[in-house]
Amino acid sequence: MKGVWLVFKKEILEFTKDRKTMFFTLAVPIILYPLLFGMIGKMGQREDQQARSSQTRIALIDPSNVIESLIQARTNDFTLVPAPEDDEKARQAIKDDQLEMLVTLGASAAQDMAEQKTVAVDVLYNRVEKTGRVAMKRLEDALRELNNATVQDRLQKLGASSQLAAPTSIQSRQVGGEELLLAKLLGTMLPYMLMLMLFVGSMQLGIYVTAGERERGTLITLLATGLPRHEIIWGKLLYVFFMGIVNSVINIGAMTFSMGTLFGGREVSDGYAAVAAEEAAQLSGIAAVVDPTVITLTLLLMIPLGLLFSNLIVFLGVQAKNTQEAGTSMMPVVLLVLFLGVFSMAPGIEKMGILPYIPIVNVSLVIRKLFAQQASVMEYLTAFCMTVGLAVLLTYISTKFLNRESAIFKST
């Protein structure tokens, strides 16, 4: 087995000799993620602030003056602008950012209100824009206030208790705190990122040490040494596996840290400033949120998964005549990995009974459940053992296959 270590050492040394590759593999994620997420965070923060600090321009058609005085009283939130001539022009004005919303009440609104009928409030706004969502939230708040006051007034006139309009009242107590919600969110995204990084992160390096060696004419010099062929393959396998793990840890670490920066910078989410601030605080300390046991169990799952992926990379790399062919042959696998990753992010997927028995997908599922503190020992062991079994089987098959002369001697 000494040969495995020697080949691994040689590959690592060769990797460290190329500063560019080393920089792009190891340093770029550490720089890029905080930069990228920081920029997105800043932009989001600026958008939030702009939306909150500016008044909502509202065009109001309220002939019987049911809500006009209410809107006018909220000077911090609204400014009244003349109503466009028709609905089409109002739509265009909203699209052109000349106003945020058109609110229309019928001519008989005041009378309906007096007769205790429900008054329809027609609202035209752009939900796609942040300013539109803030406008809607402000209007809902204003109307809620009006509704409450009206109901209380009516109850008083009827001589009824103010509790008549509120037969129930929810007093919620949470089993998991906000941190569990966030851990669950992380658990949904993590399997996807993990799979992607494990495969894509080591793919190019894997191609370099397999098809690349063949293309550069160095593979035969390696095979002509006294090292057993399977040890050469395992050495390369170990290198691809190791780089996949390193890549994943660096990328996911940098991403998790940067996510804290992203959410930490945001102060408002559709007006729920307090909740957003709480979320931000939780996400900033995401590392502390996640249980070390969960992290350890996730890392343990990465080992067989990484081995499985590195087997695929080495297998396809040695099979290819050159680096171009290797890259092309790996694309369908990248797409499959992407698909499985996205599939594992789908909501409600954890309820599908068959999934714990589907390789790779079950790893995603268990990671999701681990972060949501819902995974059972049986589920974890099933996913772990199945992945280990598959990785060992694939190692055996690829070693057997790659030991063949026809796999090694191909013309470039």
Partner 1 sequence: MIHVVDIHKTFVVKDKKTRKKKTIDAVKGISFHVKPGEIYGLLGPNGAGKSTTLRMIAGLMEPQSGSITVFDHDAMTASEKVRRCIGFLSTDLGVYGRFTPRELLRIFGEFQGVDPKVAERRGMHMLERLDLTDFADVKMESFSSGQKQKVSIARALLHDPKAVLFDEPTTGLDVLTAKTVLDLLKIMKEEERAVIVSTHVMPMVEQMCDRVGIIFDGKLHGDAPPKEILSQYGVGTLDEVFFKLAADGGVA
Residues 393-412 that bind partner 1 (CB under 8 A): 405-406, 409
Q: Which of 12, 14, 64, 178 binds partner 1 (CB under 8 A)?
A: 14
Q: Does 378 sit near partner 1 (CB under 8 A)?
A: no
Residue 225 engages partner 1 in binding (rule: CB under 8 A): yes
Should residue 175 be labelled a site residue for partner 1 when binding is judged by CB under 8 A?
Answer: no
SS3 assignment, position 136:
helix
| Whole-angstrom distance, CA of residue 289 vs CA of residue 185 | 12
Q: How far is the CB of 210 from partner 1 (least distance, A)?
A: 14
Nearer to partner 1, 60 or 318 (CB): 318
Taking CB under 8 A as the criterion, the residue among 46, 95, 154, 216 binding partner 1 is 216
The radius of gyration computed from the CA coordinates of the chain, to the nearest angstrom, equals 30
Which of 18, 97, 140, 153 is the binder for partner 1 (CB under 8 A)?
18
Contacts (Cβ under 8 Å, ≥6 apart) of 145: 70
Q: Is 174 helix (H, G, I), strand (E, B) or coil?
A: coil
Other beta carbons less than 10 A from residue 31's beta carbon: 11
For residues 132 and 100, give the distance between their C-alpha atoms in angstroms, rounded to a whole number.
6
Is 20 a binder of partner 1 (CB under 8 A)? Answer: no
- Burial track 84-107 (b if 16+ CB lie within 10 A, e otherwise): beeeeebeebbeeeebbbbbbbbe
Does position 224 interact with partner 1 (CB under 8 A)? The reply is yes
Q: How far apart are CA 15 and CA 255, in angstroms?
A: 24
Q: In a 3-state reduction of DSSP, which class is residue 397? A: helix
> Among residues 10, 42, 52, 137, which is the contact residue for partner 1, using CB under 8 A?
10
User: Which residue number, 5 or 272, has a Cβ lying nearer to partner 1?
Assistant: 5
Toward partner 1, which CB reaches closer, 159 or 217? 217
Nearest approach in angstroms of CB 195 to partner 1 is 30
17 binds partner 1 (CB under 8 A): yes
To partner 1, the closest distance from the beta carbon of 2 in angstroms equals 9
**Part of the chain binding partner 1 (CB under 8 A), chosen from 12-20, 51-59, 144-152, 319-327:** 12-20
Rounded to the nearest whole angstrom, what is the least distance from the CB of residue 10 to partner 1 in the complex?
5
221 contacts partner 1 (rule: CB under 8 A): yes
Q: What is the DSSP string of 94-122?
A: HHTTS-SEEEEE-TTHHHHHHTTPPPPEE
User: By CB under 8 A, how many residues form the interface with partner 1?
Assistant: 25
Dist. CA 241–CA 20, nearest whole Å:
21
Q: Is 321 in the site for partner 1 (CB under 8 A)?
A: no
Q: How far is the CB of 325 from partner 1 (least distance, A)?
A: 15
What is the token pair recorded at 408? 């090694």
Q: Which two tokens mark 126?
A: 């752009």
Residue 28 lies near partner 1 (rule: CB under 8 A): no
12 binds partner 1 (CB under 8 A): no
User: Which of 63, 176, 177, 228: binder of partner 1 (CB under 8 A)?
Assistant: 228
Tell me whether strands 121-125 and 101-105 are parallel, antiparallel or unpaired.
Answer: antiparallel
CA 198 to chain centre: 17
Output the six-digit token pair for 63: 């002939």
Residue 236 and residue 210 in contact, taking contact as beta carbons nearer than 8 Å:
yes
Residues at the interface with partner 1 (CB under 8 A): 3, 6-7, 9-10, 13-14, 17-18, 216-228, 405-406, 409
